[in-house]
Amino acid sequence: FQDLEGIDSAITEFRGNGGVYRGFVGTGFRLGNLSLGVNVGYQFGQQDLNTFRSLQSDTIFYYVANINNKTSFNKFWVDAGAQYELKLGKKSMVRLGANGNLGGDAKAERDLVQQTSFYSSDGSADSIDVVERSKTFGTYAFPSSYSVGAMFDFGGKLAIGGEFEQTRWTDFRNFNRPDNLGDANMLRLGAQWIPDPATGKQYFKQVAYRAGYFTGKDYVIAGNQQLPVWGVTLGLGLPI
C-alpha cells in the first residue's frame, strides 16, 4: 500500500513467470592422468512480468494500470572442465578438478504494453485500452562462473573432498542495466566412508556413508545484505 495526496491509497501488485532452458552436447577424453571435457549448447528463455497499480478512493473510480514486460532471449554457450589424478601412495590418491564458462551476451527482444484494465470476478485482469505498445531489441549479459575442487581417496574406503564455486552475478545486465545482485559464492566439504569395499561379505559394510557441509552467499540481496546460505547433509549409497 502507498498513500498519495488526494487519494486514499494505492495498491501495487507484481506478477511474473518464466524460465531458462538449455540443450547441449558434450564430449570428453583422457590423456594419461588428465581428463578433459567440453559442452556446447543453445540457451533460450522468456521472462513475463506484470505490474498492476490501482488507486483507491471513496469518491472516484479508477481503472487499474497494467504494465506488461515480456522478454525473450537466446544464445550459444560453451563450458569446459579438467581433472587430474595424482598418486600419493600405494592406496591413496588425489583428484584435482576445475570447470567454468565465460558467460556472454544473449540476443534479447522485449515487448512492452501499457494498458488500463479491470479485475473480473475470477481475479483476472481484463484489458480495456492500450496506452502504449513498443518493441525493443538488446542484450542480456549472463555471468561467468567457475569452480575448483579436490578429492582425496584412501584406497576406496575413505574419501574427503572440497569445492569452491563462484558465479559473478554482478556482471549480469538486463538491456545494459545492472540488477541488484551479488556474486554467489559457495564452499562445499564432504566425506564418504565404506567400511569394507573389497570383500563385500556383509551388506552394510558395503554401504557408502556420506556427510557434507556447505556455506556461502546467495546472489539475492535483501535489505542491502547478501543472503547467507549454509547446510548440513547426510546420505547413504546403497549397493544393489
Q: 102: which DSSP letter? A: -
Global pTM reads: 0.79
Contact (CB, 8 A) for 10 and 54: yes
Grid cell listed for 146: 567457475
**pLDDT for 84-109, tens place per residue?**
999 999 889 999 999 999 999 999 99
pLDDT band at 169 (very low <50, low <70, confident <90, very high): very high
pLDDT(57) > 90: no
In angstroms, the Cα distances linking 151 to 38, 95, 121, 210, 237 are 21, 5, 59, 14, 18
pLDDT(43) > 90: yes
| Average pLDDT taken over every residue of the chain | 90
- The reported pLDDT for the residue numbered 6 is 56
Query: Among positive and negative, which fits the CA dihedral 212, 217, 220, 223?
Result: positive
- pLDDT exceeding 70 applies to what percent of the chain? 94
Q: Which of 183, 174, 178, 196 is nearest to 110 (CA)?
A: 174
**pLDDT for 214-227, tens place per residue?**
999 999 998 889 99
**pLDDT for 119-141, tens place per residue?**
776 766 677 788 888 999 999 99
